[in-house]
Amino acid sequence: MHVVVIGAGVIGTTSAYYLSRLGCRVTVVDRATDVANEASYGNAGQLSYSFTDALAKPEFVTKIPGLVAGRDNAYQVRLRPDLVPWGVRFLSQCTKTRAARNTVAVLETALRSEKLMEELRDELPFEFSHRTAGKLVLLGSEADVTAARKTAALKEEHGCKTEILSPEAAVALEPTLSDMQGDFVAAVYSEHDSVADSHAFCKGLKAILDNTGRVDFRLGATVRRLIKNGSRIVAIELDDGQLSADAFVVCAGAWSGELLRPLGVDPHIYPVRGYSVTLPPGPSAPDVSVTVLKRKIVFSRINGRVRIAGFADFLGFSEEDDEDRIATLIEVAREYAPLAADYDAVDQEAWGGFRPMTPDGRPLVEQSDFDGLYLNTGHGMLGWTLACASGHDIARLVAEPAH
């Protein structure tokens, strides 16, 4: 069975791996010249198996007027025509019942992804800076604590143990918190969450797949359209001709809608831009991953460096504000944690990427209404976290009918 995977990010590369394990011949196509060149390149690096909380929830609704007015520098929102229908769907998910249901659905996928990653780590011969760091989410108000307790209880019902720590207990666990300038009233701690370099993971996985003889990477090749014959997708059109196959898996992240909508398939994905900067560690760099909930920024230690990531910008596919947003990210991080990183280092690496957000926060891992066309996209900010489970699941869905 020949399968074309469209997209060579962490979702596409992992899908190709599991498809090859099931005996499929795979061609991975991406317009970029290397794997993990977009959203998978410089993400926060956190494998947040325990932190799958839905963005769409009742508390978010109260923030929307301030976000649109630009009063929260963690977000930029531009009311574009393509944002309105997506936003209406998002608002429909902002109920307690739906937020809980969506959180649990993603959590169950995340916990399976954690087990699959453990299995992969035992098999893979390359280093991708995987480390069980644990994760602390700093809470800035009693309302945040109340919400966190409810979410922790919900997650515990589904096999995920998190703890609510006092500030003193959090500092005892991660002493560098005492050198941070912002007050927090409590912290959520998840002991088993990890960090790893998704870019290094994809490059290592590609090297293995190249050697199998069953996987071909066609990089620097843009997919112009999906070609159908009746109700079946039979080929893709590239600049140099057509490529036919038995099945096609769209793993194109935020760009998935551009490929699918001409077929009448709308995945309801919006590109939400996030940013990161990777710096040498400062004299008080945290070892545990730290999320500052109020500021929407995270600190991760990856491969001896500190990666600071954050923000969520709803600007369509615009990249014009990247330089200013990176500067703001550094400014916010320096103000909050002045000793966590060497903010003035010359060897800093900045990144911006589009996260493919669905209104309910759930990824689309499914067969489409067309025969031979499958979706593995819409992972939002959790692509790295969910990659193993999503790749495993789509491979079974595609390959099992052939067995």
Please indicate, yes or no, whether the overall pTM of this predicted structure exceeds 0.85.
Answer: yes
Sheet with 241-244, strands from edge to edge, namely 225-229, 232-238, 241-244
Residues of the chain with pLDDT under 70: 401-403
pLDDT confidence of residue 402: 47
- Residue 261: which residues within 8 A CB-CB, separation 6 or more? none
CB 370 within 8 A of CB 263: yes
pLDDT confidence of residue 403: 43
Query: What is the residue type of 176?
Result: T
Query: What is the residue type of 327?
Result: A
Strand 163-165 with 46-47, pairing: unpaired
Alpha carbons 133 and 193: distance in angstroms, whole number? 6
Q: In sequence order, what DSSP letters do the residues of 301-328 get, joined into one string?
A: EETTEEEEEEEEEEBTB--TTHHHHHHH
CB 71 within 8 A of CB 217: no
Return the CATH number of the domain spanning residue range 2-402.
3.50.50.60
What is the helix (H) or strand (E) element at residue 135, kind and residue range?
A: strand 135-139
pLDDT confidence of residue 235: 98
E strands within 140-244?
Answer: 163-165, 186-190, 194-195, 215-219, 225-229, 232-238, 241-244
Distances (CA, A) of 305 to 138, 285, 352: 21, 9, 18
pLDDT tens track for 235-281: 999 999 999 999 999 999 999 999 999 999 999 999 999 999 999 99
Nearest Cα residue to 48 out of 137, 143, 159, 126: 137
Alpha carbons 32 and 220: distance in angstroms, whole number? 5
Question: From the CA atom positions of the chain, what is the Rg in Å?
Answer: 21
pLDDT tens track for 299-328: 999 999 999 999 999 999 999 999 999 999
Nearest Cα residue to 389 out of 367, 368, 369, 363: 363
Query: What is the residue type of 164?
Result: I
Structure tokens at 98: 């739906």
Alpha carbons 277 and 387: distance in angstroms, whole number? 23
CB 272 within 8 A of CB 87: no
Alpha carbons 72 and 67: distance in angstroms, whole number? 6
Domains in the chain: boundaries: 2-402
pLDDT confidence of residue 401: 65
